[in-house]
Amino acid sequence: MRVAIVGATGMLGRHTLAAAAAAGHEVVAIARSDSSLSRLGSAAPESRLADLDDRESLRRALQDVDAVVNCAGYYPTVPRPWRAEVETATRQMENFYAACAERPLQKIVYLGGAIALRRHPAGEPGDETLDYPGEPPTTNPYVRVKCALDVQARAKAREGLPVVIGIPTMTFGEYDYGPTTGRLIVEIANRTLPGFVKGNRNVIYAGDAGRGLVRVCEQGRPGERYLLTGENISMSELVTKIAQISHAPVPRAIPVALARLASALQTARFRWLNGPVPRVDATAIAVMSAGQFLNGAKARSELGFSATETLEHAIGRALAWFRSNGNVKPNDVTSA
C-alpha cells in the first residue's frame, strides 16, 4: 500500500513511518512545515505539507494514497477550559475526516488514547470494551479531548469511513521533541520533577508502537479499537526504574489531592496574573493517577502484534536521544 503518515516528524509518526517502510509499503510523510520535514532527512522519500486547521491542504496531501495513519493528535499545552479544548480538537479532526472522505482510502487510522477507556469495574487490566456509560466523570481537558475524539472516530466509522482506532499505551522513545510522555524521563534525569502521583501504567517502546499502528492499518477492522500494549507497571516502579537508568535520585510520591491543589493554584496564577505555565499540570496528574493496567490480547489475536522491546530498552533509548538532543543536562547524567 501507499501509506501517508500525518504528523510524521513526531515520536510516533517517525517510528510509524519507519515501520511502514520496513513492512514494504510506500510511505508519504505529512507535516505542518518544511522545517519539521527537514528533520526526516532521507527517512521519507516523499513528503507533503498539510495542517489540521486547513482542510484543503489535507485533501491535497492525501492525493494518490491508499491509507493514512494520523499521528498528529491534539494535545492541550496551556490551561484552557475543557470545552474550548474539545472544540479545537474535534474541529481539526473534522477537517481531517472530511479530507479523507474525498479520497478512495482503504484505511484511516486514528491514534487514540487509553485514557479514553474507563477503568475496569473489577480492577482487572482494561481492554477495548470499556466505555463510559455517559460523560466521563472529570473536567480534565486532556481526558475530555481524548474521549471526544474517540466518540468522533467511531461515529465516522458508523457513517462508512474505514476508520480504525489504534491505541498505543504510554510511549517512550526517540524523536520526542516536545517532549510529551518523555517529559517524565527528562525531568527525573534533570532532577527537576516536583514529584509523582501513584497509579498504574502500561508502557511501550515507540518502535513497537509504530509497528503496531502499521498492523492496525493493514489488518484492523473499521470501527474497532486496538490496544497496543507493552509492560504493566506501577508509577512507583516506573519512576524508580527511570531514576536507576538515568543515575538520578528517586522522586517522592505526592498525594493526588495535594498535586491537584498545586495545579489549581499554578493554573490560577497563569490565567489571572500572567504567571508561567504550570509546572504541576492537570494533564500529567490525570495521566499518572487515572491510568490502569491494560490487556493487549485483542491486538495479539487479530493483528498478530506483540511488543518485543523491554521497558528498560525503551527508557534507555529515549534517555540516550534526549541527551543527544540537549534535553538532559550533561551535569545531571553522571552517577549519583
Please state the domain extents for the chain: 2-190+202-232+294-328
Say if residues 293 and 125 touch (Cβ distance below 8 Å): yes
- Give residue 156's pLDDT: 98
Say if residues 228 and 208 touch (Cβ distance below 8 Å): yes
Mean pLDDT for 227-237 is 97
Instruction: Give pLDDT tens digits for 51-96.
Output: 999 999 999 999 999 999 999 977 776 768 889 999 999 999 999 9
- Give residue 331's pLDDT: 58
Q: Work out the pLDDT band at 272, boundaries 50, 70, 90.
A: confident
Strand partners, 69: 5, 109
Place of cell 497509579: 199
What DSSP state is assigned to residue 251?
A: P
Burial (CB count <10 Å: 0-12, 13-18, 19+), residue 85: buried
Query: What class, spelled out in words, does domain 2-190+202-232+294-328 have in CATH?
Result: alpha beta
pTM of the model: 0.93
Say if residues 133 and 121 touch (Cβ distance below 8 Å): no
- Give residue 194's pLDDT: 86
Q: Is the peptide bond before 79 cis (omega within 30 degrees of 0)?
A: no
Say if residues 38 and 15 touch (Cβ distance below 8 Å): no
Whether the pLDDT of residue 100 is over 80: the answer is yes
3-state secondary structure the chain: CEEEEECCCCHHHHHHHHHHHHCCCEEEEEECCHHHHHHHHHHCCCEEECECCEHHHHHHHCCCCCEEEECCCCCCCCCCCHHHHHHHHHHHHHHHHHHHHCCCCCEEEEECCHHHCCCCCCCCCECCCCCCCCCCCCCCHHHHHHHHHHHHHHHHHHCCCCEEEEEECEEECCCCCCCCCCHHHHHHHCCCCCCECCCEEEEEEHHHHHHHHHHHHHHCCCCCEEEECCEEEEHHHHHHHHHHHHCCCCCCECCHHHHHHHHHHHHHHHHHCCCCCCCCCHHHHHHHHCCCCECCHHHHHHHCCCCCCCHHHHHHHHHHHHHHHCCCCHHHCCCC
The percent of residues in the chain predicted with pLDDT above 90, rounded, is 75
Bigger pLDDT: 288 vs 155: 155
- Give residue 285's pLDDT: 73
Average pLDDT of the chain? 92
- Give residue 44's pLDDT: 80
Whether the pLDDT of residue 336 is over 70: the answer is no
Mean pLDDT for 263-292 is 75
- Give residue 56's pLDDT: 98
The closest alpha carbon to 213, from 202, 223, 203, 227, belongs to 227
Bigger pLDDT: 277 vs 221: 221
Mean pLDDT for 13-30 is 97
- Give residue 335's pLDDT: 40
Helical pair 235-246 and 311-325, crossing angle rounded to 10 deg: 50
Helix (H, G, I), strand (E, B) or coil at 100: helix
Mean pLDDT for 280-309 is 88
Give, in degrees to the nearest 5, the angle at Cα 281 between 278 and 285.
160
Mean pLDDT for 296-305 is 98
Whether the pLDDT of residue 232 is over 50: the answer is yes
Q: Work out the pLDDT band at 332, boundaries 50, 70, 90.
A: very low
Bigger pLDDT: 302 vs 197: 302
Q: Work out the pLDDT band at 330, boundaries 50, 70, 90.
A: confident
Say if residues 214 and 19 touch (Cβ distance below 8 Å): yes
Instruction: Give pLDDT tens digits for 235-256.
Output: 999 999 999 999 999 999 998 7
- Give residue 47's pLDDT: 94
